[in-house]
Amino acid sequence: MVGVSDDGARDGLRRVTPVRIGDVVFGLGSVPVIAGPCSVETDYVKHAVAAAEAGATVLRGCVHKPRSWPDRFQGIGDAGLPLLAEARAATGLPIISEPLGEQDVERLVPYVHGFLIGTRSMYNSRLLQAVGRAGLPVILKRGFSATYDEWLGAAHYIRAEGNEQVILCERGIRTFNTEVRNTLDISAIPVMRSLCDLPIIVDPSHAAGRREWVAPLALAAVAAGADGLIIEAHPDPDESWTDSRQALHPHALKAIITSIDGWPSGFGEQVLQSAASDV
């Protein structure tokens, strides 16, 4: 993996090194979809089953939630760990969860198949080193104001601990727009493919901030060559404990997955390769 440089940009697209979460492989041309509610609730097992029935191949289950304000719901905490185990048993799907600090990593290991590093934690080098040492796959979200080079640097912290199982996640960056929660940087997909060998997935939920815009952003990401998606879904979206405005009903999630399944295998990758060969 290399940092951002003119030489790196001239090298063209790099071959992706696939990363496996449970039995699901990212970076081989398919588009796995990670889904589930923003945060684990008391009915999480029911929510997980609904996401699985909609076609999700990996579950998200965050028991800790970093919030902008301290008086907002911070997650169900360690009380949610048994729910992760129940959801895994009920669906047979691998689960990822977000540690907020080094102390969370060890507690999560028995319950998850991979870690999710959120946008606020991208700069937490101690946490990055801790998940690197844990040895499980890591999905590294881009900080909402991070440059490509800073994002790659964060990935290096994980890989420097001997853990090569890193997946990048573009989730939108902060701009002057107020209509959307964040602005999806679709250019991150081809740019990062030219700079490193890591799979890159997209989170259209946090980019949009509103459920009616999630599907268009998801399909645009796949067309641009994304190696997967992570989408928030809840059987009763308006009652979701966190981020209710961007949560999709499982029917809407299934519609997105069905649309993607109807595309030729590796469609986005073919677009990327074709564009690169024409330069």
Question: pLDDT band at 71, cuts 50/70/90?
Answer: low
CA 160 and chain centroid, separation:
21
pLDDT digits (tens, 9 = 90+) for 121-166: 999 999 999 999 999 999 999 999 999 999 999 999 999 999 999 9
> Average pLDDT of the chain?
90
The model carries a pTM of 0.90
DSSP strands (E only) in 118-198: 138-141, 166-170
Extents of the domains making up the chain: 6-197+207-277
Does residue 36 come out as left (phi exceeding 0), alpha (psi in the -120 to 50 range) or beta? Answer: left
* Residue 230 identity (one-letter amino acid): I
How much is the pLDDT for 132?
98
pLDDT at residue 5 in the model = 39
What is the pLDDT averaged over residues 7-32? 83
pLDDT for the residue numbered 240: 82
| Topology classification of domain 6-197+207-277 | TIM Barrel (3.20.20)
* Spatial contact of 192 and 148, defined as CB atoms under 8 Å apart: yes
Stretch 98-103: mean pLDDT:
94
What's residue 7's pLDDT?
A: 40
Pairwise CA distance, residues 72 & 46, whole Å: 24
Cβ contact 188:200 at 8 Å? yes
Q: Mean pLDDT lowest for which of 104-108, 177-181, 265-269?
A: 265-269
